[in-house]
Chain A
Amino acid sequence: MIRARTFTDARQQAHSNAELNWWVFMRISGLILVFLILGHVYMTFIQVSESDATFDAVVGKLANPAWKFYDWLILSLALLHGANGARYSIEDYVRSRPTRAWVKGLFYTVVALLFAFGTIGLFSI
């Protein structure tokens, strides 16, 4: 994990290229997600209520390929961003090596299954 204040520091601290790439990915995906998620929260929570999120409303909205793509972009970027963020936390707070391996393995499995589930759901309409 990198604890850097600037990109130059990050490049010096990174143990591997992968670690540096994740550091950059967090910034870029974060920037994109600001617009995607705030738009999503506004359109689907502030403008409409939970009881409007009926089965027919969801199916109807997702019939439009533009919304499919919008939601799939959120799904993949947010899950990757969130999974990597949680990895930082796991590496900081789970100190024992074998436990950490189990926690990570279990966590990645859940995220991967949900990604598959969400993708199948989105594109099966």
Chain B
Amino acid sequence: MYRGREGQWAFLLHRLSGLAILLYLLLHVFSIGSFIFGERFYMAIHTTYDLWPFRIGLVFVTAGVVYHAFNGLRIIVMDFTGAGVAYQRQMWYAVLLISAASFVYALLTLWPRMVGGY
């Protein structure tokens, strides 16, 4: 893999987070949509999804979505303004900071539920 500077890492993380979110979305549409097969089928999937590894996974999904969203905004700013290209590195660190903050926020907010299991 080509090891460039921040721009390359931003691109790689954008792709990986995008593919991860897409995979989650496909599973999510199936599991939520499965209510059309009736309550038993729906609950069979969702009692499994309520186990603690999946709860932790959701915090990572949240942080991944926030990264993808804010890095996407950074890309849009780069695409349509010259200043965006000049400050893309600084903006990327801001995006990382926002993603880390949202990870911590989600973890702290959901912590009682994660250990309490409700």
Question: Do residues A58 and B32 form an inter-chain contact, with CB atoms below 8 A?
Answer: yes
Report Cα–Cα, A54/B43, bound state, in Å. 7
* A to B contact number (C-beta, < 8 Å): 101
Q: How large is the interface on A (under 10, 10 to 19, 20 to 34, 35 or more residues)?
A: 35 or more
Shortest Cβ gap from B103 to chain A (Å): 12
A61 to B42: give the CA distance in the assembly, Å.
16
CA–CA, A121 to B39, complex, Å? 13
Among B26, B35, B66, B72, point to the contact of A30 (Cβ < 8 A): B72
Residues in chain A near residue B85, CB distance under 8 A: 5-6
- Whether A5 contacts B50 in the complex (CB less than 8 A), given A55-B43, A82-B21, A110-B26, comes out as no
Among all A-B residue pairs, the 8 with the closest Cβ atoms: A82-B22, A121-B33, A55-B39, A30-B72, A34-B69, A118-B29, A49-B113, A85-B18
- Measured CB to CB, the residues of B under 8 A from A are 15, 18-19, 21-22, 25-26, 29-30, 32-33, 35-36, 39, 42-43, 46, 49-50, 54-55, 58, 62, 65-66, 69, 72-73, 75-76, 78-80, 85, 106, 109-110, 113, 118
